A and B are shown apart, each in its own frame.
Chain A
Amino acid sequence: MTTDTIAGTAVQLNDEGFLVDPSQWTEEMAVELARREDIDALTDRHWQVIRFMRQQYEDTGTGPNVRMLAKTSGIPVKELYQLFPKGPAKTAAKIAGIPKPRGCI
């Protein structure tokens, strides 16, 4: 666990770089978190996924895995991997300040 400053706020990150306290998250932080994931510019499509992940977390207590993300957001798996090459559910969850979704499929 490390302490860091993102978009001017002191936050705690776990070993994988996820926000320990999701309630601290702001959309400004998303931009910085994305840059750390080698995504230099967030397009509207990126934001659609990020906001969707955040909403799912707030509604159900967890973010969806990739398959659920594709099914419920309507964005196909192929496009999700183009937007977030290092793993859409994992990366979008990190950028959205929510915990990494657990799931095997």
Chain B
Amino acid sequence: MGEAIEKVSIIVSQGSLEGVYPGLIMANGARAEGIEANLFFTFFGLDAIHKKRLEHLKVAAVGNPGMHMASLIGVLPGMSGIATHMMEKRMEEHDIPGLPEFIEMVADTGCGLYACKASVDLFGFNKEDFIDQVEDVITVGEFYGKAAGGQIIFT
């Protein structure tokens, strides 16, 4: 066994349900191992910490080979909703928390939550748009400062 990892800083850049969960699971898992963790939400990842949007994240039904369903079907109105509903139902059966509960839990473990300033400006958001658990809106340079000495994971 090599040297233990002591800190991870995880970037969440996707706005789909399946795009956001890996980063959250990595952060939660790190905290459960006593590893320091930060989450940095950028671009569409901001939806996962946005008060008005985090309850409405969807599974990508188009251009998603992982769905094992033709995009031609995925474009039909309502398909994204059906795919999302099915995913959420299965997650509930496996006792995986829904997004708002999961984000709150990850924050409670002591993981730092940050929004990317460039994306915040790009989308015309401000700190008040985000859930209270978000500590700050920071630049990429400030993110690197927080990540120093640890591993960086891009999702």
Which A residues are within 8 Å of any B CB, using their own CB?
A: 15, 65-68, 76-78, 81, 85-91, 104-105
Contacting residue for B33 out of A67, A76, A77, A90, CB 8 A: A90
Closest CB in chain B relative to A90 CB, distance in Å: 6
Contacting residue for A78 out of B25, B95, B108, CB 8 A: B108
Q: Is the CB of A89 within 8 A of B1?
A: no
Question: B29 in the interface, Cβ–Cβ < 8 Å?
Answer: yes
Nearest-neighbor residue (CB-CB) of B32 within chain A: A87
Q: Is the CB of B96 within 8 A of A105?
A: yes
Interface hits, B25-44 → A, CB 8 Å: 25, 28-29, 31-34
Measured between beta carbons, the chain A residues less than 8 angstroms from B32 are: 65-66, 87-90
**A90 to B109 Cα, complex, angstroms:** 13
Question: B110 in the interface, Cβ–Cβ < 8 Å?
Answer: yes
Q: Is the CB of A15 within 8 A of B25?
A: no
Contacting residue for A86 out of B34, B95, B96, CB 8 A: B34
Q: Is the CB of A104 within 8 A of B29?
A: yes
